[in-house]
Amino acid sequence: MFQPNLGGVYGVKLLPVGTLLDHRYQIVSILGKGGSGAVYKACDLQNNHIVAVKVLTVTGIEPHATMQLQYFQREVGLLKRVSHPNIIHILDSGISDEKFPYLVTDYVDGQSLKAILKAGQLTLKRTANILSQVSHALQAIHDQGIIHRDFKPQNILITENQQKETAKLLDFGIAKMIRGDREESYLHTITSKGIVSGTLQYMSPEHCQGHKLDERTDIYSMGITAYEMVSGRLPFDISSTVGMIMLHVEATPPAIPAIPKAVESVIMKAIEKFPENRFARAIDFSEAFANAVTESKDFSESFVIKGDGASPNQETEEFIIDPSEAPTAQHESNDPNIWTTIKRKLKF
């Protein structure tokens, strides 16, 4: 029997261990949960393989439930379009007997890049390796006309296999298709109801303002992630939604101490305010970063982030705490007039 875990006007129903989903996938344990569903470790009884099953079980009033379903359906559709060794692989999808949409992917035994950053052990050489892998994942989806829109350490899964570290890109819930000048069902970043689609600490200025997006919005988010990887902190991190958006749009990122200037310059180029001033392609960014690290070889081998890698207010505006947690990333502001407030402050 499903036990509801309600919060606010909507909630998530968790599947008990042992549940048989669609007469095939038996729930072994819960890997994570969020505002719209949960991800489980499960056994595929048809072939006795361990898989990961993401189940959308949000309940409640509009528009949240409908929006979550749209995001979930989009994720399923986009993952079916792309096959890449650094992108999680979709195995199956469907609707359960209880009418819950579900998505089955490879089970990857690893930890999020966020967890690694909190542990504080990261060299520049390792950073370059991870960025190279995820940049090729981004390039693969960009070549298919897809932008991720929620690139962040929580959505990068790191696993080790035969002493080789592999990074996989997760969570395509709010990704979207771009077809020339036409965009698929474009939804403003911030709606009149104050719902933010994305994760504010990593969102590009144009994403924050609800402007038209292209691949370079992901490059900005990748740059913010790289900044965090080499400094142990985010360039912008305050508790105010409007304040965070203003920082992305207007503020100069703080300098990154104790790393080679060449490496810092590459990161700063990736997080330029205007898209045309950033790298044109994700792999251009990772290659420039790797070259800068190579030029500082001795430094790259010895540099290690100290501390827990967490910023003071990081949990305030962080919408998915773990990469396995929900199929989408959202923040619901307490300010019902947030979009009007931001437009007034930014004078547009």
CA dihedral 184, 248, 245, 172 (to 10 degrees): 30
Q: Is the peptide bond before 63 cis (omega within 30 degrees of 0)?
A: yes
Q: Look at residues 112, 121, 104 and name the one whose alpha carbon lies nearest to residue 24.
A: 104
Determine the Cα–Cα distance for residues 66 and 91; give it in Å rounded to an integer.
Answer: 24
What tokens appear for 97 in the block?
């007997």
Are 326 and 36 in contact, with CB atoms under 8 Å apart? yes
171 flagged as catalytic: no
Are 303 and 263 in contact, with CB atoms under 8 Å apart? no
Are 241 and 317 in contact, with CB atoms under 8 Å apart? yes
The catalytic position among 143, 150, 171, 322 is: 150
What tokens appear for 85 in the block?
């060794």
Q: Look at residues 200, 203, 208 and name the one whose alpha carbon lies nearest to residue 239.
A: 200
Are 278 and 270 in contact, with CB atoms under 8 Å apart? yes
Residue numbers annotated as active site: 150
